[in-house]
Amino acid sequence: MQTTKDPRSTGSLLSDVLGSIGTLLRQEVDLARAEVDENLKRATRALGLLVVALVLFFIAMSVLVTTAISALVLAGVAEIMATLIVGVVTLILAVILAVIGVKRLKLSSLAPSRAARNVKRDAAVMKEAYNDR
């Protein structure tokens, strides 16, 4: 059985491998950057929708609060007590919605998770290839 030797030197092969690793790392950084940009754009659009929803929510709440106060006054509750009751209930609802919103808007959703998985996979492949020598 005859084996053919690669005419390139060990230094040349090592240089090629290091060049390939450098290219791979640059591509992974580019992928991570693109993924972060995509996630930021999605988060920006989501925040825009939240701002519009918040404005509409304020208008609707103003109408509903006024209606609730008027209904309580018509039912015989003193105006000050009706205003206090509706104000407390509205405040409780606002706090609940704020807590839910903050929990859903996490910085971890902006992290480049696909790129991180690719880097881990590439590192494992390189480590396995090195250990097989």
Residue 121 lies in a domain: yes
Residue 100 lies in a domain: yes
Residue 103 lies in a domain: yes
Residue 61 lies in a domain: yes
pTM of the model: 0.42
Residue 63 lies in a domain: yes
Q: What share of the chain is helix, strand, coil (3-state, %, to 5)?
A: 85, 0, 15
Q: What does the DSSP assignment read for 35-70?
A: HHHHHHHHHHHHHHHHHHHHHHHHHHHHHHHHHHHH
Q: Quick one: pLDDT at residue 49?
A: 93
Non-local CB neighbours of 24 within 8 Å, separated by 6+ positions: 122
User: What is the C-alpha separation between 63 and 20, in angstroms, rounded?
Assistant: 64
Non-local CB neighbours of 119 within 8 Å, separated by 6+ positions: 28, 32
Range of the domain at 112: 25-131
Task: Give 1-55 pLDDT, tens digit per residue.
Answer: 555 565 677 777 777 877 888 888 888 888 888 888 888 888 899 899 999 999 9
Q: How many domains does the chain have?
A: 1
Residue 111 lies in a domain: yes
Residue 84 lies in a domain: yes
Residue 2 lies in a domain: no
User: What is the C-alpha separation between 112 and 41, in angstroms, rounded?
Assistant: 13
Q: Write the single-letter amino acid at 39.
A: N
